[in-house]
């Protein structure tokens, strides 16, 4: 075997071995961060090192600090584990080393994005003429969607924001639920709108936007251009805003609806949960992650826009993108990157691996396992505080200090991993079931560990 095949083979073999170890590996491990940093440090080498030795050194240094987040009992944040074909495709993408800016720099990468983008829209129920930008994460997807929104609402009142910026521009209203994700605020800051622009709308009992309050905010504010951020999948509770009514309301006021659906938009992919995001097709832009519930490798997310012209005008290289002049906007014209990796291959491979039925089964299975968690922890005497509509479960173990102690004990124990969160002023354990390999046995084992640690 030649040297390159040996080297790439070693990397792939090691990665496969790591994946195989996940079900049995402690999920959370006590880590000495200084020792880890120490293992990576040392003087900048003056001379070259043979690649195989570099690989061995990297593995030795990284191993003690690797987290089993791709494994079946990691329930922190909203984290999946990359599917086999998608991971292998990502390995190929690294090997092919494509410069995926446009169809000249990598025809294959752009073709994969086009095909995968069409499949994603079909699965999610997003209208097929929508543009699809392949971005790094939902943070980036929110920024791109809100940039398109900023373009359009200002263009509607005769202001070209790409040329003239925001200095002297007509004021824009931004309305968002008070339980929006923190990335919305960061996107607004990056776009020069500032976090203080947000007119917050109260949430209902399970964390979805309260429609009567939204109506009131829309009515009572100034009549200027408005962007409304809705949410499919509250990161704490999983609740989805009632998109049909909300979109209709916003459109009556001439506003733009952006939906942050990082994980919750996947409810659309199963007949059993589709009703939770009914009306999503009425929105103007959508942000959705691939690396969360779809179990694709990092970094993978999608910015869809019902008006490809607004999307390209906001994101293209030139300040005056002439819609229709350059054909269909593609690749880097729909994202904030210029040179970029070919992330479409992994998306294409993951969707091919699962198929429509596989995606629906993944969503259904995770939701059923979340309900199993809720039922098990309730019968063990703990308090599930949210209505479990999707894959997120919030659990209280008494007062805040006690809940924090239980979360810390669970993380140190290593059977499973769940994070702490603050929701409605209370400290809670947040359990997110998003991994394609989690089984009922994993959930039962985790419930037993949590129960043992919480009753010590
Ligand atoms: C995770 C999440 C985001 C941010 O996504 P990244 O992929 O981490 O950038 C945005 N919104 C919601 C609702 C999320 O759950």
- 268 Cα: distance to centroid of ligand 1 (angstroms): 17
SS3 252: helix
Q: In a mutational test of the pocket of ligand 1, which residue from 138, 146, 241 has the highest number of ligand atoms less than 8 Å from its CB?
A: 138
Q: Quick one: which of 76, 83, 60 has its CA closest to 27? A: 76
- Give the whole-angstrom CA distance, residue 74 versus residue 50: 36
Strand partners, 301: 135, 289
262 C-alpha to ligand 1 centroid (Å): 5
Distance 266 CA to ligand 1 centre (A): 13
The phi and psi torsions of 114 (rounded to 5 degrees) equal -65, -45
| Ligand 1 contact via 260 beta carbon (within 6 Å) | yes
Q: Is 139 in the pocket of ligand 1 (CB under 6 A)?
A: yes
From 69, 80, 82, 137, give the residue whose CB has the most ligand 1 atoms within 8 Å, as the site to mutate: 137
Q: Is 294 in the pocket of ligand 1 (CB under 6 A)?
A: no
Element at 395 (helix H, strand E):
strand 392-396
Report the residue count for the chain.
Answer: 456
- CA 427 centroid distance within chain: 23
The answer to whether the beta carbons of residues 131 and 312 sit under 8 Å apart is yes
**CA–CA dist 267, 63 (Å, integer):** 35
Q: What is the pLDDT of residue 1?
A: 75
Which atom of ligand 1 sits closest to the CA of residue 292? Answer: 7
Å from CA of 122 to ligand 1 middle: 22
Contact 377, 396 (CB under 8 A): no
Written as tens digits, the pLDDT of the chain (456 aa) is 799 999 999 999 999 999 999 999 999 878 899 999 999 999 999 999 999 999 999 999 999 999 999 999 999 999 999 999 999 999 999 999 999 999 999 999 999 999 999 999 999 999 999 999 999 999 999 999 999 999 999 999 999 999 999 999 999 999 999 999 999 999 999 999 999 999 999 999 999 999 999 999 999 988 888 999 999 999 999 999 999 999 999 999 999 999 999 999 999 999 999 999 999 999 999 999 999 999 999 999 999 999 999 999 999 888 776 654 456 788 899 999 999 999 999 999 999 999 999 999 999 999 999 999 999 999 999 999 999 999 999 999 999 999 999 999 999 999 999 999 999 999 999 999 999 999 999 999 999 999 999 998
The CB density around residue 150, as the number of other CB atoms within 10 Å, is 25
What separation in Å is there between the alpha carbon of 447 and the centre of ligand 1? 26
Cα of 292 from ligand 1 centre, angstroms: 8
pLDDT tens digits, one per residue of 294-324: 999 999 999 999 999 999 999 988 877 665 4
Report how far ligand 1's centroid is from the alpha carbon of 79 (Å).
10
Closest atom of ligand 1 relative to the 77 alpha carbon: 1
Reduced to 3 states (helix: H, G, I; strand: E, B; else coil), residue 392 is strand
Spell out the domain ranges in the chain: 89-348
Q: Compute CA 71 distance to the chain's CA centroid, rounded to the nearest angstrom.
A: 18
Tell the residue number behind the tokens 């496969």, with chain if given: 16
- Cα distances from 328 to residues 122, 238, 308, 324, 336, in angstroms, run 19, 35, 8, 7, 17
Q: What is the pLDDT of residue 325?
A: 47
Residue with CA at minimum distance from ligand 1 atom 3: 138
Provide the 10 A C-beta neighbour count for residue 67.
15
What pLDDT is stored for residue 326 in this prediction? Answer: 57
78 lines ligand 1 (CB under 6 A): yes
The b/e string for 419-448 (b: 16+ C-beta within 10 A; e otherwise) is: bbbebeeebbbbbbbbbbbbeeebbeebbe
Pair of tokens at residue 420: 């702490």
pTM of the model: 0.97
∠ CA 151-156-162 to the nearest 5 degrees?
30
CATH class of residue range 89-348: alpha beta
Token pair, residue 428, equals: 């809670």
> Among 327, 321, 8, 298, which Cα is nearest to 140's?
298
121 CB within 6 A, ligand 1: no
Whether the CB of 436 sits within 6 Å of ligand 1: no
185 lines ligand 1 (CB under 6 A): no
Q: Which helix (H) or strand (E) covers residue 384, if one does?
A: strand 383-384
Q: Helices (DSSP H) in 68-210: which residue ranges?
A: 84-96, 107-124, 138-155, 161-164, 182-190
Contact 240/276 with Cβ under 8 angstroms? yes
Which of 135, 139, 176 gets mutated to test ligand 1 (max ligand atoms within 8 A of its CB)? 139
* pLDDT at residue 321, rounded to an integer: 67
Q: Report how far residue 345's alpha carbon sits from residue 20's, in angstroms, rounded to the nearest whole number.
A: 23
Q: Find out whether the beta carbon of 143 lies less than 6 Å from any atom of ligand 1.
A: no
**Are 173 and 196 a contacting pair, CB within 8 Å?**
no
pLDDT of the residue at 322: 60
CA–CA distance, 305 with 132 (Å, rounded to integer)? 7
> Three-class SS of residue 283?
coil
Of the candidates 260, 265, 209, the one whose C-alpha atom is nearest the C-alpha of residue 391 is 265
> What does the block give as tokens for 9?
């083979």
Q: What would the 3-class secondary structure string for 151-169 be?
A: HHHHHCCCCCHHHHCCCCC
The pairing of strands 426-432 and 392-396 is: antiparallel
Distance CA 383, CA 29 (A): 27
Nearest Cα residue to atom 12 of ligand 1: 262
Question: 235 in ligand 1 pocket by Cβ < 6 Å?
Answer: yes
The helix/strand/coil state of 350 is helix
């Amino acid at each position: 075997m030649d040297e390159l095949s040996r080297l790439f083979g070693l990397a792939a073999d090691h990665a496969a071995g790591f994946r195989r170890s996940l079900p049995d590996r402690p999920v959370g491990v006590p880590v000495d961060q200084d020792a880890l940093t120490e293992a990576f440090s040392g003087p900048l080498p003056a001379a070259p090192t043979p690649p195989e030795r570099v690989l061995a050194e990297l593995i030795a240094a990284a191993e003690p600090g690797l987290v089993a987040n791709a494994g079946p009992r990691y329930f922190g944040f909203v984290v999946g584990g990359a599917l086999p074909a998608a991971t292998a495709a990502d390995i190929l993408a690294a090997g092919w080393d494509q410069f995926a800016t446009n169809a000249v720099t990598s025809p294959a990468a752009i073709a994969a994005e086009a095909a995968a983008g069409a499949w994603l829209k079909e699965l999610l129920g997003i209208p097929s003429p929508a543009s699809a930008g392949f971005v790094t994460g939902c943070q980036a997807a929110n920024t791109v969607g809100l940039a398109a929104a900023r373009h359009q609402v200002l263009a509607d009142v005769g202001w070209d924001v790409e040329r003239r910026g925001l200095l002297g521009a007509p004021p824009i209203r931004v309305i968002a639920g008070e339980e929006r994700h923190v990335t919305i605020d960061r996107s607004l800051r990056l776009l020069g709108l500032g976090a203080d622009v947000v007119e917050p709308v109260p949430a209902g009992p399970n964390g979805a936007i309260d429609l009567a309050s939204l109506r009131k905010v829309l009515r009572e504010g100034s009549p200027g251009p408005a962007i409304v951020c809705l949410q499919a999948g509250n990161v704490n509770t999983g609740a989805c805003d009632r998109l049909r009514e909300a979109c209709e309301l916003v459109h009556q006021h001439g506003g733009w609806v952006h939906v942050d659906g990082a994980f919750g938009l996947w409810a659309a992919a199963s007949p059993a949960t589709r009703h939770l995001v009914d009306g999503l097709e009425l929105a103007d832009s959508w942000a959705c992650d691939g690396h969360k519930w779809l179990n694709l490798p990092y970094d993978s997310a999608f910015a869809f826009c019902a008006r490809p012209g607004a999307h390209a005008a906001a994101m293209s290289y030139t300040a005056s993108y002439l819609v229709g002049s350059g054909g269909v906007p593609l690749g880097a014209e729909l994202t904030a990157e210029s040179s970029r990796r070919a992330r479409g291959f992994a998306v294409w491979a993951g969707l091919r691996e699962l198929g429509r039925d596989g995606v629906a089964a993944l969503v259904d299975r995770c939701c059923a396992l979340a309900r199993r968690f809720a039922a098990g922890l309730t019968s063990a005497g703990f308090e599930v505080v949210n209505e479990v509509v999707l894959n997120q479960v919030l659990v209280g173990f008494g007062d805040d200090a006690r809940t924090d102690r239980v979360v810390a004990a669970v993380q140190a124990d290593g059977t499973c991993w769940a994070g702490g969160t603050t929701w409605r002023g209370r400290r809670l354990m947040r359990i997110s079931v998003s991994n394609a390999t989690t089984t009922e046995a994993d959930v039962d084992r985790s419930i037993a560990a949590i129960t043992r640690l919480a009753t010590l």
